Amino acid sequence: MSQPTGAERSAPDVSADADWNRTYVDGEWRGPGDGETIAVTDPSTREEWTRVPAGTVADVDDAYAAASRAQERWAEKPPERRATLLRDVLALLEEYEDELTDLLVTESGSAPLKSNVELSTARDDVSEAATFPFRAGGDVRESDIAGKENLVKREPAGVVAVIPPWNFPLHLSIRAVAPAVALGNGVVIKPASETPVTSGLVIARLFEMAGAPSGLVNVVTGRGSDIGDRVAGHPDVDVVAFTGSTPVGKRVAKQAVDSLAFPAMELGGNAPNVVLDDADLDNAISGSAFGSFSHQGQVCISINRHLVHEDVYDEYVEGLVEKAEMVPTGSAHSQATIVGPIVNESQREEILDYVERTVEAGATLETGGETVELDGVEDSLVVAPTVLSGVDNDMAAACNEHFGPVAPVIPVSSDEEAIELANDTEYGLAASVWSGDRNRAEDVADAIDAGMVHINDQPIHEEPNVPFGGMKASGIGRFHGDAIMRELTEEKWISVQREQRTFPF
């Protein structure tokens, strides 16, 4: 396939109708040639809408070589040049809002509400990153030696590999790409196979349109089984920013560490949602429904378990069922839809299996637990919002990260039991606590082993200036703000002896 002409590059297409069957390496859009391609399907219609190249190890090597060359030159650019590039990308995110929203709907099955929220969050990520070139300066430390000045400088880490997931593809990719570029690094993106456009190719196109130097941002599409290890463990990688499941993250982290790269890992979650007996129940039910059913529950920080005090348990279950049954379901292409399709068939089957096993173990299926049929679609991927009562912490839908629109409700008799059950998991990403007593809620929040705990709010919340990440098996390090600046740079100590020292020999 021929390369795009200069005219084509001056006004590239970022829509779902564009030709996305290319990788982007060293400023060139490379077609698959005689190589294999991978079909990308629309989860709502189950139809193929584009294809992308199945990248090879050689493609990965080319991308790293390009990123390394570009990074050396980019790191020498003044802060204003790097900040300007990010501001130009931000302007393009705003200019192409409709096209990008449509891409998210088409590729990831994101309902319009979720797509709009994701795009807004991506803009916030880039806006925050645009301030980094002026905030990542060093420090001066005192010395015990007379006349010595200690300078602690911050330098770019080098080349950053970004391996994003499919659920929030644009946001969870650009939250690493934008800071990396702002801080003087080169980037290689290995996008998610289900969402190669929104988690990689369209980001490269936006940076190209904004005037990024060739090789600064590179994208190699392909299967993780074919190129994942090479991306994560490449000899030239310095930081691996990965978001995804804990089992895959452990493999990625091992590859990174074997290359002495820092593994920035945001991994799985099993968020407990604690509802105490003095909570504003109407507010808790409304927020908790949002926290369970938004984006079909395909959110690492969505509510996985509802731990509800027995005194308000029945009323809570009744209210949650009412919310579940009123949430509009259907194709992500409909403006009315809130709960759209699961990303693929295997994910859908896993969710339904967790529900079935939980009912077999003694829980009650209050509502949902089935596929919602769509007109004209064979084998719909839409799963009805599901509420399970009489659940205990060891049942399948509770102890696993179900990643679906499923709300297992577990009764608790005390704050202490709620804390014990909340922590009875390998994960520690996000949590939430509802109570009318702030001090009581903070005591519970302090005792929960999670990187992020929200009081009187559900846990699907992220802000670009606040550290985002988890404890235990939920990851290593933090994204956003000062935290990501530390992880994408290296500290360098330079001492300057201003006055002559006296040595003992």
Residues catalogued as catalytic: 266, 300
Give Cα separations from 59 to 62, 466, 482 (angstroms): 5, 35, 33
DSSP secondary structure string for all residues of 311-337: TTHHHHHHHHHHHHHHS-BS-TTSTT-
The DSSP bridge partners found for residue 272 are: 305
Beta strands (DSSP E) in 121-276 are 139-141, 148-156, 159-163, 186-189, 217-219, 239-243, 262-266, 271-275
C-alpha 248/C-alpha 242 separation (Å) is: 9
DSSP secondary structure string for all residues of 354-369: HHHHHHHTT-EEEE--
C-alpha 111/C-alpha 337 separation (Å) is: 6
Rg (CA), the chain: 24
C-alpha 174/C-alpha 164 separation (Å) is: 9
Give Cα separations from 350 to 107, 299, 353 (angstroms): 21, 15, 5
> Are the C-beta atoms of residues 444 and 274 closer than 8 Å to each other?
yes
> Are the C-beta atoms of residues 327 and 296 closer than 8 Å to each other?
no
**How many Cβ atoms from other residues are within 10 Å of residue 48's Cβ?**
10
Task: Copy the structure tokens of residue 429.
Answer: 């990403």
Phi, psi of 240 (to 5 degrees): -115, 110
Of 283, 364, 365, 297, give the one whose Cα is nearest residue 327. Answer: 297
> Are the C-beta atoms of residues 336 and 329 closer than 8 Å to each other?
no
